[in-house]
Amino acid sequence: MSGLFSAFPLPDPVADHLSAHLPPIPPGLRATPRELWHVTVGYYGADDPDRRLARLTDRVSGLPAPRLRMSGSGTFAAVCLLKVATPDPVDLRRLAEAADFAEGGHPDYTPHVTVARWSTPTTRGAEMAAELRGYRGPEWVPDELVLYASDRGSYTPLARVPLLARSAPGAGC
């Protein structure tokens, strides 16, 4: 196992919307498969799954579920991403802090969905991000945080931690 992370998987209507608006992946970039789209909340590396689940359950269970929406785009390292916005960033930040987002060595929490990667220097990632700059997806409210094991690009859900339910968001994109 390469490592553990916690995330919000994209619900089908949100992934459907993104699929319908995602431009073709330029040559030299690798698309992130739809089934791997998620918003990472915390990355933990090589951690004990039982210990991590107990900590997440203790610290995250019952926190308010944030309202999320992909809006805008960007790049970092060698990924093209969609930014994740929320009307109340305090809720998402509080949840990420409770989920120990910084334990994996990332001092800043930047919620996003990775849509493409590259391994050799290219300007195509920035070009794709520019195409996605105006993207605004539908709002959703996750009802759980999922603990995943990551192994060579494959993600296996290990456990789910429930969040405090909110009323469903208003319809619309």
Residue 7 C-beta-side C-alpha neighbours within 13 Å:
26
pLDDT score recorded for residue 171: 44
pLDDT score recorded for residue 106: 66
Fold of 3-162: Cyclic Phosphodiesterase; Chain: A, (3.90.1140)
Give the residues across from 113 on adjacent strands. Answer: 82
Write down the pTM of the prediction: 0.89
Residue 57, CA distances (Å) to 12, 92, 121 in order: 25, 16, 40
Q: Are 5 and 40 in contact (CB under 8 A)?
A: yes
Name the residue ranges covered by the structural domains of the chain.
3-162
Structure token digits, residue 36: 């791997």
Burial pattern 70-97, b for ≥16 Cβ within 10 A else e, equals bbbbbbeeebbbbbbbbeeeebbeebbe
Alpha-carbon distance 64 to 142, whole Å? 10
Q: Helix, strand, or coil here: 85?
A: strand
Instruction: Give the mean pLDDT per block of 10 residues along the chain (173 residues).
Output: 89 98 95 96 93 96 94 94 91 92 76 95 95 96 95 92 73 44
pLDDT score recorded for residue 110: 87
Where does residue 42 rank: exposed (0-12), middle (13-18), buried (19+ CB within 10 A)?
buried
E strands, 77-136, in order: 79-85, 112-117
Q: What is the 3-state composition of the chain as percent helix, strand, coil, each rounded to the nearest 5?
A: 30, 35, 40
- How many other CB atoms sit within 10 Å of the CB of residue 16? 14
